[in-house]
Amino acid sequence: MFTGLMLSFLSSLVFFPLELPPWHWVGTTPTFTKPAAPPDYIDPDPVFLHRFFFEHPFAYVVIVTFVATLAASAYASLSLLLSLWTTNIYLVLGIPWLVHVGLNFLFGVLAIITGVDLVSCSPIVLSGAYISGWSSLVGSALQEYNFFVPLIWITVTATLLLLTYYVFMKRRDILN
């Protein structure tokens, strides 16, 4: 399986080189041709490690994949914790999804009520292609080099795993 993935990866590098197209167009003319962020570009997309995206697009994809893997490990840890109380597979797999959807909804509603941009803290914004990196909450100083997002997922995963271990050791009926 690994050989097939590696062969697919190498063939994609040959047929699709790692060059970014011009990011902005004015009419039919590109505004710049080198893969770099314009210095006057405010509120860029992607927000998470913006300059790194332009300078090393392949490494950026690896980092986003790593963050998505950390988020998946957090949800898997929650499923592992839930499996200590129930053997119902639908609950074990469904509750983490409901937590994900519920937190996204809750942060969206609280952002509307309070006027503070709490949407930047929702799970969908902290994982995958929607990573914002807390740029609107913390400020522009951490916008380009924001490493809080992986630390958040590592902390959540470690906390859930420690809680799982604690609950597992407290429930002696599982061990017998």
Residue 23 lies in a domain: no
Residue 69 lies in a domain: yes
Tell if the pTM clears 0.85, that is, is over it.
no
Phi/psi at 25 (5° precision) = -125, 140
Question: DSSP H helical segments within 34-145, as ranges?
Answer: 50-55, 57-82, 89-114, 135-138
Residue 63: both structure tokens together: 């980092």
How many helical (H) and strand (E) elements, i.e. helices and strands, does the chain have?
A: 7, 2
Residue 1 lies in a domain: no
- The total domain count for the chain is 1
The CB-side HSE value for 136 (13 A sphere, CA atoms) comes to 14
Output the tens digit of pLDDT for each of the chain's 176 residues.
Answer: 678 888 887 887 777 766 555 555 555 555 555 555 555 555 555 567 766 777 777 788 888 888 889 999 999 999 999 998 888 999 999 999 999 999 989 988 988 898 887 777 788 877 765 666 544 444 444 444 466 778 888 999 999 999 999 998 888 676 55
Residue 166 lies in a domain: yes
**Which is nearest to 40 in space by CA: 61, 60, 23?**
23
For residue 154, the enclosing domain spans 44-175
Q: Is the dihedral of CA 88, 90, 94, 96 positive or negative?
A: positive
